[in-house]
Amino acid sequence: MALRRTYEENVCPIARSLEVIGERWTLLIIRDAFYGVRRFSDFRAHLGIPPAVLTERLKRLVDEEIMSTELAESGREEYLLTKKGERLWPTVWSLMSWGNEYYMEKGLRRPIVHIDCGGRLGPSGHCGRCDELVGPRDLEVHPRRQQAHVQRKDRVSRMLAKPHRLIDPLTDRA
């Protein structure tokens, strides 16, 4: 029996939010969109998500205006975060930070760095060097220190082995 997707009896903003972003895979798709993933094939390969599930989750994110689509030069449809989607950054960062603190070895944490001053993002979302509250467009994701532990060969993993500005599309160009 499938779990219900809605919480009609709860008059609560968290319940309403979970109806949209609380399904399995959805927050990982959003995280990857912050990393710069735009292609269906890259989401699928990096997450190991079944294509039918990915199709359903992306459709829901587009319907809810968290992501939009555009036609790339290649003629393929690509997925981008909207302003509404970018508002999820504090939630995504909070979950990443919490997971880093309680469930990840130090060497496997992926540093998020403030581009302007080079400081690391702290748990509150403030830069550890200049104390500015930093939005995703002013941040860069860096590779894990212990990259050797991560044996993934998909395109997204290869691209994230180099520093990369959040939200900017991942490209194979140097």
Contact of 168 with 143, CB cutoff 8 Å? no
The tens digit of pLDDT for each residue in 60-107 reads 999 999 999 999 988 999 999 999 999 999 999 999 999 999 998 887
Question: pTM for the complete prediction?
Answer: 0.92
Residue 117 CB: number of other CB atoms within 10 A? 14
The domains found in the chain, sorted by start residue, are: 13-85 (1.10.10.10), 86-165 (no CATH)
DSSP string, 7-70: -TT---HHHHHHHHH-STTHHHHHHHHHHT--BHHHHHHHHT--HHHHHHHHHHHHHTTSEEEE
The tens digit of pLDDT for each residue in 16-33 reads 999 999 999 999 999 999
Confidence band for 4, pLDDT divided at 50, 70 and 90 = low
148 has a pLDDT exceeding 60: no
